Structure 1
Amino acid sequence: MVESEKKLFVLDTNVLLHEPLAIYSFQEHDVVVPMTVLEELDQIKDRNKDVARDARIAVRTLEQCVGSASPDELLAGVPLEAAGIDIPSGKLLIFPDHQATFAPSQSLPLSCNDNTIINSALYLQQQHPTRPVILVTKDINMRIKAKGAGLRWVEDYRSDQLVDDIRYLAKGFAEFEGDFWQNVGEVKSNQQGRFTEHLIKNEVFAEQQFYLNQYLLDDGEQFCGQVKQLDERYVTIRDLGRDRLMHYHAWGITPRNIYQGMALHALLDPKIDVVILTGPAGSGKTLLALAAALEQVIETRRYSRVIVTRNTPEIAESIGFLPGTEEEKMMPWLAAITDTLEVLHKQDESPSGSLQYIMEKANIQFKSVNFMRGRSIQNSFVLLDECQNLTPSQLKTIITRMGEGTKLVLSGNLAQIDSSYLTAVTSGLTYAVERFKSFNGSANVFLDGVERSRLAAFAEENL
C-alpha cells in the first residue's frame, strides 16, 4: 500500500484503557500516540483502581513495540508487529505534542488534555493533507468537539463491538406468531430420554437464524422448544413444553413467567457450562441463580461450593480500608446477594439462623473480582453479578479461570452501566452474549418482565 493510502489513527487515552492492545487493531495503517496520552497513562497506572491494570498493560505494550528505537525513529514510526499475529502492520508514531506549535485560529485552547490531543490530530491533518487523519476516542463529547474544531474524521473504537444497536442483541429465545406447528410441514420426531426431539428442515425457517441452545416460543402459549443441533439441512429442536418449564423448581423457587422458566432450565442443565442472564432490575436474575446454586450444591451435590463475585468501580480503592477477611470486606458490595438469601429463607422459623447454616452448608464464598486472576476454579457454581461493568478483556480473564466441573453464571443489566469507559454495546456482557452464541455449552436468556414488586415494575417502565 502506498503511503498516501495509509490512514493515520490518533488514539485517545480511553481507547488504550478500554483495550490495552488496541495499537494492533489497525492492520496496515499507522497509529499515532500523542505524548499527552503517555502522560495520562503514567498518572493512571499508579492509581489504586481496576483501570490501573489496563494502563500498565498498555504502557508495557507500547514499550515492547518501541524497543530500542531512537528518538528520530519514533518520530518516523517503528513497525507494529504483534507477536504471533501474522497480519499486515503499519507503524507506531509517538507524537511530541508538547513541542508542536498550534496556530490559535486553527486549534482549541490548551486548557485540558482532551484539547491537546484534538490539536495534535488537527496538526497532523495539516501536515498530511493527502492522508486521512482519524481521531479515535470513546469520549462522545470529545468526538463532538473534534468535529467542531475542524477535524474531518473522528471515530469510536469498535474493533471489539459486535452489535451496533443493543436492540439487536441476542435475547436467547425466538418468538413465533400464532401456533408454532401451523407452518411446519414434514417433521421427524424421536425420543431422547424424557424429551421428544424434532428434526425440521431449515427451509421451513428461511427468515430465522438459529443458534445452539436458543429457546423457541409461540403465541399459542403451549409450545416451548430448544435448538439442540444445527446442520446444513436440518435443525433439531427439543420439545420442552411450557407447562413443564413453569413447574421447574429450585430451593423452593418456581418461575413466575416463561422467561424465568427458561432461565431456570438452563441453570439446572448439567450440560450447560455458562449461563448468561440479562434483563431489567427485579426480573429475577440473582434470585434464580442463587436458588439453582443452593439446589445443586446442597440437594444434588453436583458442585462442591458457591463462589459469588462482582465488579464495582470503587472496590479496588476501598476494600483495603475495611476491617476483616476478604469475605467480610466484600459484604457491603454483595448486600444484594445476602438480601436474596434472606428472601429464599424468609419463611423459616429462624431466618438468621437458617441463613448462617445455609452459607456454611453450601460453602458460599464471597470473592473480589480483583483476586480471581491467576486462579483455577474447579467443581464450583460461580455467580459473577453486575458484570455489565466489565470490559471484554476483563471478562475473558475471569472466564478463563473456570476449570472442570464448574458452572458460571454471568448476570447484569445493560441499562445500569457505571463505568465511564463502557456503553451497552461495548460492555463485556454484550460481548459475551454474542461470542457464546455458537458454543454448545452455553445458554443466554433475557428475563423480560419485572417480578420484584408492582412499584419496581412501574418504575422500570415509566421512569
Structure 2
Amino acid sequence: MKKIFVLDTNVLLNNPRALFSFEDNDIIIPLAVVEEIDNLKSNNSVLGYNARETSRLLEEIRTEGRLDKGVKLKEGGILRIVINGKDLRIPKGLSASKMDNRIISTALHIQEDNPDLKVVLISDDINLRLIADAFGLKAEEHSSTKLSDEQIYTGFKEIQVLSSVIDKFYSEEEISLEDLNLDEKLDMFPNEFLQLTASDQNKKTALACYNGTKLKKLKYNRSTPAKISPRNREQQLAVELLLNDDIKLVTLSGKAGTGKTLLAVAAGLSKVVDENKYSKLLVARPIMPMGKDLGYLPGEKEEKLSPWMQPIFDNLDFIVHRNKSDKYIYQKLLNSGLIQIEALTYIRGRSVPDQFLIVDEAQNLSLHEVKTIVTRAGVNTKIVFTGDPFQIDNPYLNLHKNGLNYLAHKFHKEKIAGHVMLKQGERSELARIASELL
C-alpha cells in the first residue's frame, strides 16, 4: 500500500539525500522545513553544508515541475512542498510560533485530506514523535540507515576448540578456518579478532586476527607505543589495529575510561615522532556539545579550542609523564609541526595527506559527517575514529544511528579497515564501578 511520508527538518540535515530513500511513496515537505533550512544555509558548519545541499537538491527537482503541485521522482514517488498559508491550524495546546508544531499541523492536514492512505511523519526528534503520537499521527524515525542490534559490529568473536587446535596455531603461527574443526561454519571478516578457548583444557587460550584467508598470530602483542602498555585483551587488539600500517581506517568504540583516546594518541605519536611514518599527528573533535560554532566564542581560535580539547592535552600529559621525557610535550611538537589539534569544522574541504588523523567523540557525528571526513584522506593517511556510542550528545543520533557505529558496520568487510569495541574501564577502580553502576 502506498504511503505518504511527511519529513521533519532534521532528517534532511542529517542526510540531504534522504529525499530519495522512500521508494515509490509520496513525500511531503512542509513549508516550515524549507524555512528552517533557509535559516541554516549560511551556517559555517556541517548543518549549514547539509542545508545548502538540501536546497540544491530541491532546486534540481524544481526544474522538473512545480513543487507545490508535485514532482515525480525517479524512484516513483511524488515530492511536494505543502504551504498551509491562511489555513494554518495548530492543534489545541500547541504554540503556532514553533516550527515543529507547524510541521505537525501540516502532517495532520495531509492525514485529513488522505483518509485512505497511511500518512507517516518521519523525524529523528524523539519529542516531536511523542507529540505526534499524542495527536493520533503515526511517527517514525528515519530508518534507512538505522542499525539493528545484530548489525552493531564488535570486531571480536570467541569460540571453543580442542586444545590440539590451539597447539597447532601456536606451532605454525597461523591456522585456516577449516582447521578449527567446528560443527557450524564460522563467518569471519578481514581484521576481525578471534579468541580460541580450549574446551578440554582449563585456561588454555589463543588470540588470532583473520587476514581474509587465515587466522594469524598477533604482530604487535609485545608493542608499547609511546611506552603505553595495553592493560586488557581489547586494548591489545586495539593496538594491533593502530600499529598496522596496512589498515587505513580504525574505529574504536567503548564507554568512558576504556582507553580509546589514550591508545590512539600514543600510537599516533609513536608513528609520527618515533617512526616518521607520517608527517603529522592531527587530532580533531566535533564541537557540537559546546552548543555554538567556534565563531561565537570569545578569543583566538586556540583559546576557543582549549577547553574542548583539554582531554587530548590530558592524554598527552599522561604520555609525557609515563616517558619521563620532553619529546612528546605538546608545545614542542606543535613548534616542530608534528602535531595539530583542530575542531572538525576546519577539516571539511581540506585534503589530508600523509597524516595520522584521530577523530575523537565520533559518536556525535552523523553518517554524512563521517563520509565527509573519510573522503578527506589523502595518500598515506590513516584515520582513527574513537567514541562512546552509549553517550551521545547529538539529540538526533542514538546507539543504532550514529556515524561511528555506521562506519564500523559499512567497512567491516574491507581489508583496509578494522574495529574493536573496548569493554573494560582502566581509568581507575572508582571510574570503572561508576560507569557500570550509574
| TM-score under structure 2 length normalisation | 0.89
**Structure 2, unpaired ranges of 5+:** 198-202
Amino acid at match of 2:208: G
Distance in 2, Cα, partners of 1:203 & 1:28: 48
Which digits, 9 at most, give the CA deviation of each residue in 1:237-277, with x for residues without a partner? 11339xx72x3211111111111111111111111111111
1:274-353 aligned within 5 A: 274-313=249-288, 314=290, 317-319=293-295, 321-324=297-300, 326-327=301-302, 329-347=304-322
Question: What residue number does 2:148 align with?
Answer: 164
Partner SS state of residue 356, structure 2: strand
Q: How far 1:327 moved relative to its partner?
A: 4.8
Paired with 1:121 and 1:221, the residues of 2 have a C-alpha distance of: 61
Which letter does structure 1 place at the counterpart of 2:68? L
Percent identity of paired positions between Structure 1 and Structure 2: 34
Q: 1:271 aligns to what SS in structure 2?
A: coil
Q: Distance in 2 between matches of 1:442 and 1:156?
A: 29
- Letter aligned with residue 143 of structure 2: R
Counterpart residue number, 1:51 = 47
- Once the two structures are superposed, the pairs formed by residues 58-73 of structure 1 within 5 Å of their partners are 58-67=54-63, 69=65, 73=66
Inter-partner Cα distance in structure 2 for 1:272 and 1:366? 23
Alpha-carbon displacement from aligned partner over 1:177-218 (angstroms, at most 9, x marks no partner):
4xx445969989996xxxx22123298262643211100114
Per-residue CA deviation, residues 372-410 of structure 1 (Å, 9 max, x unaligned), is 122222111111111111101111011011111111111
Separation in 2, partners of 1:382, 1:58: 29
Range that drifts further, 326-335 or 423-432: 326-335
**Aligned partners of 2:338 and 2:328: how far apart in 1?**
15
* Residue in 2 that maps onto 1:212: 190
The match for 2:73 is 80
Length-normalised TM-score, structure 1: 0.85
Q: Corresponding residue for 1:233?
A: none
Query: Quick one: which of 15, 19, 26 aligns to 1:19?
Result: 15
The total of aligned residue pairs comes to 431
Q: 2:130 aligned with 1:154, yes or no? A: no
AA aligned to 1:95 is: V
Q: 1:95 aligns with which of 56, 76, 82?
A: 82
1:249 is matched with which residue? 224
Q: Deviations over 1:346-371 (max 9, x none)?
A: 15667699443344457101122122
Does the aligned pair in 2 maintain the 1:251–1:291 contact within 8 Å? yes
Partners of 2:400 and 2:355 lie apart in 1 by 30
Corresponding residue SS for 1:28: coil
For residues 97 and 208 of structure 2, the distance between their equivalents in structure 1, rounded to whole angstroms, comes to 59
2:112 matched to 1:130? Answer: no
1:443 Cα deviation (Å)?
Answer: 0.9
Residues 370 and 286 (structure 1 numbering): CA distance in 2 closer, same or farther, change over 3 Å? same
CA apart distance, 1:100 = 3.2
Q: Does 1:198 align with 2:175?
A: yes
Determine the C-alpha separation between the residues in 2 that align with 1:275 and 1:117.
40
Specify whether residues 457 and 102 from structure 1 end up closer, same or farther in structure 2 by C-alpha distance, changes over 3 A only. Answer: same
Residues 301/135 of structure 1: CA separation in 2 closer, same or farther (3 Å cut): same
Residue 369 of structure 1: aligned partner: 344
Deviations 1:304-324 (A, max 9, x none): 111111111138623464434
Which amino acid counterpart does residue 423 of structure 2 have in structure 1?
A: D
Q: Distance in 1 between matches of 2:215 and 2:400?
A: 30
Distance 1:270 1:89, change over 3 A: same
Gap change, CA 1:200 and 1:350, over 3 Å in 2: closer
Structure 1 match to 2:2: 6
Cα deviations across residues 46-86 of structure 1 (Å, max 9, x unaligned)?
A: 445542222222122212211273xxx433311224xxxxx
Amino acid in structure 1 at the alignment position of 2:83: P
Match of 2:200?
Answer: none
Equivalent in the alignment of 1:40 = 36
Residues 412 and 353 (structure 1 numbering): CA distance in 2 closer, same or farther, change over 3 Å?
A: closer
User: Does the alignment pair 1:417 with 2:392?
Assistant: yes
* CA distance, structure 2, for counterparts of residue 301 and residue 396 of structure 1: 27
**Whole-angstrom CA distance in 2 between matches of 1:439 and 1:384:** 20
Contact 2:218 2:240 in 1 (8 A): no
Contact 1:173–1:215 at 8 Å: present in 2 too?
A: yes
Change (3 A) 1:356 1:189: closer
SS of 1:382's partner is: strand
For residues 279 and 168 of structure 1, the distance between their equivalents in structure 2, rounded to whole angstroms, comes to 16
1:140 matched to 2:126? The reply is yes
Q: Which SS does the other structure have where 2:321 is aligned?
A: coil
Q: Deviations over 1:132-156 (max 9, x none)?
A: 21111112222222222122x3211
Query: What letter is aligned with 1:407?
Result: K
Give CA deviations for 1:262-295 in whole Å, capped at 9, x if unaligned.
1111111111111111111111111111111111
Give the distance between the partners of 1:109 and 1:65, measured in 2 at CA: 32
RMSD value, Cα: 2.9
Tell me if the contact between 1:33 and 1:93 (Cα under 8 Å) persists in the aligned partners: yes
Do 1:388 and 1:427's aligned partners in 2 also have CA atoms closer than 8 Å?
yes
